[in-house]
Amino acid sequence: MRTWQFFLVSLAVALAVFFAARLYQNDYLFFAGYVVLQFIVLATAWNILGGYCGYVNFGSAAFFAIGAYTTVVMTKLPAFANRNLPPEIASFVGSITPPPIPVLIVLGGLVAGLVGLGTGYLTLRLRGVFFAIATLALAVVLQTLIVNWDFVGGSRGAYVIRPATVAWLGIGYIEYLFLVMLVLVVVSLTTARAIERSRLGYGFATIRDDELAAEASGVPTLRLKLVATTLSGAFMGMAGAPFPYYIGFLEPSSAFGLAYAVNAIAMPMIGGTTSWVGPLVGAVLLGTLQQLATVTISSAVSLLIVGLLLVFFVIIAPNGIIGWFQYFSSRKSTDLKEQPAPVKSS
Amino acid sequence: MTEPLLKITNVGKRFGGFVALDGINLDVAPGERLGLIGPNGSGKSTLVNCMSGTLHNDTGTVTFDGKPMNGLQAHERTHMGLARSFQLPRPFHSLTVAENLRVPLLYTVRIRRDVPHTKDEMDHRCHEVLSLVSLQHKANRLPKDLTQVEMRKLELARAMAADPKLLIADEAMAGLSGSEVKDIVALLIRLNERGITIILIEHIMAAVMSFSQRLVVLVSGKMIAEGDPQDVIRDPEVEKAYLGQ
Amino acid sequence: MDFPVQLFINALIAGILLGGFYAAVTVGISISFGILDIVNIAHPAFIILGSYIAYIANQRLGLDPILTSILVLPAFYYLGSLVYQVYYLSFEKRGQEALRGLAFFFGLLFVTEVALILVFGVDYRYVQAGYIDTTLRFGFFDLPLRMVVPFVVSMLMLGGLQLFLSKTFTGRAINAVAQDQLALSLMAADPIRIKRIAFAISIATASVAGALLIVIQPVEPSVGREYIGRVFAICVLGGMGSLPGTVIAALLLGIVESITSTFYGPSWAPAVAFGFLLLTLAVRPSGIMGR
Are C267 and A130 a contacting pair at CB < 8 A?
no
Q: How far is CA A336 from CA A340, B119, B124, C74, in A?
A: 8, 12, 16, 60
Determine the distance in angstroms separating the CA of A284 from the nearest CA of chain B, rounded to an integer: 27
With contacts defined as CB-CB under 8 Å, which chain B residues touch C289? Answer: 54
pLDDT digits (tens, 9 = 90+) for C194-248: 999 999 999 999 999 999 999 999 999 988 888 888 888 888 888 787 888 899 9
CB-based contact (8 Å) between C264 and chain A? no
Instruction: Please give the backbone phi and psi of residue B218, each rounded to the nearest 5 degrees, phi first.
Output: -115, 130
Query: What integer pLDDT is reported at residue A167 of this predicted model?
Result: 66
Q: Count residue pairs from A and B with Cβ separation < 8 A.
A: 97
Mean pLDDT lowest among C101-105, C143-147, C264-268: C264-268
Q: Check CB contact under 8 Å for A215 and B78.
A: yes
Hey, is the C-beta of A217 within 8 angstroms of any chain B C-beta?
A: yes
Shortest CA gap B56–chain C (Å): 7
Of the ranges A22-31, B31-40, B177-186, which is most confident? Answer: B31-40
CB-based contact B94 A199, cutoff 8 Å: no
> Over the stretch B199-222, which tens digit does the pLDDT of each residue have?
999 988 889 999 999 999 998 889
CATH assignment at residue B20: 3.40.50.300
DSSP-derived 3-state class of residue B32: coil
Give the model's pLDDT for residue C290: 31
> Strand ranges (DSSP E) for chain A?
158-159, 165-166, 171-172, 249-250
Question: CB-CB: which of C103, C222, C268 is closest to A265?
Answer: C103
Residue type, position C5, single letter: V
The confidence score (pLDDT) of residue C97 equals: 60
Highest mean pLDDT among A50-64, C125-139, C256-270: A50-64
In chain C, which residue's Cα lies nearest the Cα of B57? C287
B110 CB near a chain C CB, below 8 Å?
no
Mean pLDDT of C158-181: 86
A318 has a chain B CB within 8 A of its CB: no
Cβ-defined contact of A339 to B91 (cutoff 8 Å): no
B115-161 residue pLDDT tens = 888 888 888 999 999 988 888 899 999 998 998 888 888 999 999 99
Predicted local confidence at residue B112, as pLDDT? 85
What residues of chain B have any CB closer than 8 angstroms to a CB in chain A?
Answer: 52-54, 73-76, 78-79, 83-84, 86, 90-96, 99, 102-104, 106-108, 110-111, 116, 119, 142, 144, 158-159, 162
pLDDT given at position C95? 62
Distance from CA of A57 to the nearest CA of C (A): 10
Report which of residues B101 and A158 the model is more confident about.
B101
Domain that holds residue B193: 6-241
Has residue B1 been placed in a domain? no
Give the pLDDT means over successive 10-residue stretches in chain A (346 positions).
89 90 84 93 96 90 93 87 82 81 93 92 78 81 83 81 72 87 96 94 93 94 94 96 90 80 93 93 94 85 91 88 79 44 44
Chain B residues close to A221, C-beta within 8 Å: 75
Q: Which of C32, C41, C106 to mutate to test the interface with A (most CBs of A within 10 A)?
A: C106
Strands A249-250 and B33-37: unpaired
How many structural domains comprise chain B? 1
C contact chains, 3+ CB pairs < 8 A = A, B
CA-based nearest residue in chain B for residue A338? B119
- How high is the ipTM of this complex? 0.90
Whether A203 contacts chain B with CB within 8 A: yes
User: What's the gap in Å between the CA of B16 and the closest CA on chain C?
Assistant: 12
Q: How far apart are CA C107 and CA A309, in angstroms?
A: 9
DSSP bridge partners of B35: B200, B215
Instruction: Assess if residue B191 is contained within a domain.
Output: yes
Nearest CA in chain B to C95: B93
Q: Is residue B177 part of a domain?
A: yes
The separation between CA A247 and the C-alpha centre of its own chain, rounded to angstroms, equals 17
Helix, coil or strand: residue B240: helix
Alpha-carbon gap, residue A218 to A211, rounded angstroms:
11
Q: How far apart are CA A16 and CA C223, in angstroms?
A: 45
Contact with chain C for residue B56, Cβ under 8 A: yes
pLDDT at site C269: 75
- Quote the pLDDT of residue B17: 78
**Cα dihedral across residues A259, A260, A261, A264: positive or negative:** positive
Average pLDDT, chain C: 85
In the chain, the amino acid numbered A231 is: L
CB spacing of B94 vs A215 below 8 angstroms = no
Name which of C90, C225, C278 is nearest A315 (Cβ-Cβ).
C90
Return the CATH architecture of domain C5-283.
Orthogonal Bundle (1.10)
**Do the Cβ atoms of A80 and A161 come closer than 8 Å?**
no
Instruction: Give the residue on C whose Cα is nearest the Cα of B93.
Output: C95
Q: Please tell me the predicted confidence (pLDDT) of residue C283.
A: 66
Residue of B nearest to A207 (CA): B92
Q: Which member of A54, A307, A318 has the closest CB to residue C114?
A: A307
Q: Write the CB contacts of B245 (distance below 8 Å, at least 6 apart in sequence).
A: B39
Residue C96: predicted pLDDT: 58
Q: How many residues does chain B have?
A: 245
Q: Strands, E, within chain B: which ranges?
A: 6-15, 18-28, 33-37, 59-64, 67-68, 82-85, 166-170, 197-201, 214-219, 222-227
Nearest CA in chain C to B74: C287
Q: Which chains share 3+ C-beta pairs under 8 angstroms with B?
A: A, C
Q: Which pLDDT belongs to residue A49? A: 94
Percent of chain C with pLDDT strictly greater than 90 = 43
Q: Contact A129/C39 with Cβ under 8 angstroms?
A: yes
| Domain limits, chain C | 5-283
Residue B73 lies in a domain: yes
Lowest mean pLDDT among C106-120, C128-142, C274-288: C274-288
Predicted local distance difference test score (pLDDT) of residue C136: 80
How far away is chain C from the Cα of A82, in angstroms, using its nearest Cα? 31
CA distance C291 to chain A (A): 9
Window 13-42 of C: residues touching A by CB (8 A cutoff) are 39, 41
Q: Which domains does chain A have, with CATH numbers?
A: 3-326 (1.10.3470)
pTM of structure: 0.88
Q: Kindly give the residue spans of alpha helices, DSSP state H, lying in chain C.
A: 5-29, 43-61, 65-87, 102-120, 145-167, 169-179, 181-186, 191-216, 223-237, 243-264, 269-283
Query: Strand, coil or helix: what is B113?
Result: coil
Alpha carbon distance B71, B75 (integer Å): 12
A22 vs B25: which has the higher pLDDT: B25
Pairing of strands B33-37, B197-201: parallel
